[in-house]
Structure 1
Amino acid sequence: MTTIDPSLALAIDRVGSASELARKLGITPAAVLQWQRVPVSRVLSVERISGISRHVLRPDFYPPSEAAE
């Protein structure tokens, strides 16, 4: 069993379900359920949909220090 990133779990919870997140992204629920982390190509969309900051979703690509700029 693979563990998903807590920020992805938070985004899914905020939206209501993986299926609902997938619907809002225009992809299949199976695609979302395959993620361990939010793909970089989807970060901004997931941020917009869930309200979870890009700095939380993928701090490796959007470091928190950029939030202060």
Structure 2
Amino acid sequence: MSPYEAFQAAIVAANGQTAFGRIIGVSQQRVWNWLQAGKHLPADYVLAAEAGTGISRHLLRPDIYPIPAEAE
């Protein structure tokens, strides 16, 4: 799963862009803008997204949170 797909999965897990925005503390419009631009979730929001949706930080931003070697 790509980081963008993980971002989309987190939105689905939250039951939509509005609910996801509430979880991470931003507006639905901002979430929509990130999606339309094809961006992955900004780093500042990854931990809140993981806590609120159950989608792993390792999937959302593997560039920042790589999977630990012992878990592979």
- Whether TM exceeds 0.5 here: the answer is yes
1:64 aligns with 2:67: yes
Unpaired segments ≥5 residues, structure 1: none
Quick one: higher RCO (CA 8 Å, sep 6+), 1 or 2? 2
Unpaired segments ≥5 residues, structure 2: none
Question: 1:53 corresponds to which residue?
Answer: 56
Equivalent pairs counted in the alignment come to 65
Decide which moves more: 17-26 or 53-62: 17-26
| TM-score normalised by structure 2 residue count | 0.80
Alignment partners' CA distance in 2, 1:42 and 1:21? 11
Q: Give % identity.
A: 34
| TM-score normalised by structure 1 residue count | 0.83
Measured on the aligned residues, the alpha-carbon RMSD in Å equals: 1.8
